[in-house]
């Protein structure tokens, strides 16, 4: 079976998506839909296109043509068209595409697309079943809605940075742009829910997905801690507010992680270091007490862990069934046996001919096999093709 046939059997085969956005949150959402078989058409400016196209690393072919690996990671399996929003003829063409698509996905600052006649209220008149998803930093309305937003600023506003890093240290952002990518996950999930409803009712919807709301949504344990205690959750480094020992320790050579998340596992940790008497210590009798006294407990354990290498302790903890791990760099985890087994690293050819790699869609399911059926697109590469496929007409020549 060829790649096109396989795509016809994919979960979102037949779903048409117009992605009007750039950089991370919107394109990540689009990539999730494209990986599951949706026909995602990326709408870009004629000059420069998505700004992510210019982000390094830029892999250069022998003839000097450069292509962004960052862009490739979020835009494989998509097509690209160019639209000049200041050109009335091209705007009319875009609206024709809206009439036949299922989803419009955008991550412009609130108010930008409505001023161009491309807001939800404008486009729902053209297509009553349209699911229109807007991703922004703070939402489409409210006192902060018009503020510019990047991942780090929303991490700061959301409270997430207050629990990241070591207590008393300077502010630390999460090393992964979780604001962008959590918003992308929430957006993708909600788009699919509303697509089901639109199919059943014939009525579309406007989805207002904010980075702020998404980060707060995944902070349920931290917000519930405040609701339950009235106290602000604190940064604990690699430790946990309700479990101990549950953090990174240093062996004689390097750091490793253990997560003794219940009483049985705690008994195994104490036995591993030869200090079984700690399980009778009044300060460490229960999970709640261990969490309350985790700094004292960590100091005791650290002195013992320094006597052997991290590898020694990882072997010992695995033998005893205690969840544990080395602390990998990205090169190490990408080359790990587990990642190889899961087939997460795939070959990818860039439009300039450079051979590189990318990550697969990370969820397995029956009757679905991830494949790269389209290379990341060149700017405007599919303008004619999409007009033909979606509208049955040519826009050139």
Catalytic positions, written as ranges: 180
- Closest residue by Cα to residue 156 from 125, 186, 185, 178: 178
Token pair in block for residue 281: 């210590």
Cβ–Cβ under 8 Å, residues 326 and 310: yes
Q: Which two tokens stand for residue 133?
A: 């998803």
Helix or strand (DSSP H, E) at 43 = strand 39-44
For Cα atoms 8, 9, 10, give the angle at the middle one, nearest 5 degrees: 95
d(CA 199, CA 157): 37
End-to-end CA distance of the chain: 34
CB atoms inside a 10 Å sphere around CB 268:
17
Q: Which long-range contacts (CB under 8 A, 24 or more apart) does 243-248 make?
A: 243/287, 243/290, 243/291, 244/287, 244/290, 244/291, 244/293, 244/294, 244/297, 244/298, 245/269, 245/290, 245/294, 245/297, 245/298, 245/301, 246/294, 247/294, 247/298, 248/327
Alpha-carbon torsion, ordered 62, 64, 70, 75, to 10 deg:
-90
Specify whether the CB–CB gap between 81 and 2 falls below 8 A: no
CA 256 remoteness from chain centre: 25
Q: Distance from CA of residue 306 to its chain's centroid?
A: 36
DSSP state of 15: -
Closest-CA residue to 131 (of 270, 47, 18, 50): 18
User: Which two tokens mark 218?
Assistant: 């995944």
The counts of H helices and E strands in the chain are 17, 13
Pairing of strands 255-259, 246-250: antiparallel
């Amino acid at each position: 079976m060829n790649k096109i046939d396989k795509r016809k059997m994919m979960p979102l085969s037949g779903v048409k998506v117009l992605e009007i956005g750039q950089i991370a949150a919107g394109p990540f959402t689009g990539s999730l839909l494209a990986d599951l078989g949706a026909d995602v058409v990326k709408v870009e400016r004629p000059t420069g296109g998505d700004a992510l196209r210019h982000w390094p690393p830029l892999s250069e072919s022998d003839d000097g043509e450069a292509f962004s690996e960052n862009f490739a990671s979020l835009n494989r399996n998509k097509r690209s068209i160019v639209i000049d929003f200041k050109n009335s003829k091209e705007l009319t063409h875009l609206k024709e595409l809206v009439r036949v698509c299922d989803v419009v996905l955008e991550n412009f600052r609130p108010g930008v697309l409505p001023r161009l006649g491309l807001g939800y209220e404008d486009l729902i008149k053209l297509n009553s079943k349209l699911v229109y998803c807007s991703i922004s930093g703070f939402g489409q309305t409210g006192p902060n809605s018009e503020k510019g937003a990047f991942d780090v600023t929303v991490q700061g506003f959301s409270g997430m940075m207050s629990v990241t890093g070591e207590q008393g240290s300077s502010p630390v952002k999460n090393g992964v742009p979780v604001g962008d990518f959590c918003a992308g996950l929430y957006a993708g999930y909600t788009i699919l829910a509303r697509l089901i409803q639109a199919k059943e009712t014939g009525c579309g919807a406007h989805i207002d997905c904010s980075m702020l709301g998404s980060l707060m949504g995944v902070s349920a344990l931290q917000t519930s801690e405040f609701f339950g205690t009235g106290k602000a959750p604190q940064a604990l480094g690699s430790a946990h507010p309700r479990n101990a020992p549950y953090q990174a320790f240093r062996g004689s050579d390097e750091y490793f992680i253990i997560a003794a998340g219940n009483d049985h596992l705690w008994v195994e940790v104490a036995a591993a270091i030869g200090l079984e008497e700690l399980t009778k210590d009044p300060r460490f009798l229960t999970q709640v007490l261990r969490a309350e006294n985790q700094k004292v407990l960590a100091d005791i354990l650290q002195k013992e862990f320094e006597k052997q290498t991290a590898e020694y302790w990882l072997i010992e903890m695995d033998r005893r069934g205690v969840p544990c791990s080395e602390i990998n760099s990205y090169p190490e985890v990408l080359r790990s046996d587990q990642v190889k087994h899961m087939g997460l690293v795939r070959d990818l050819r860039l439009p300039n001919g450079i051979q590189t790699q990318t990550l697969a869609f990370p969820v397995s399911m029956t009757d679905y096999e991830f494949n790269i059926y389209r290379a990341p697109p060149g700017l405007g590469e599919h303008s004619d093709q999409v007009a033909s496929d979606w509208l049955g007409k040519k826009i050139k020549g």
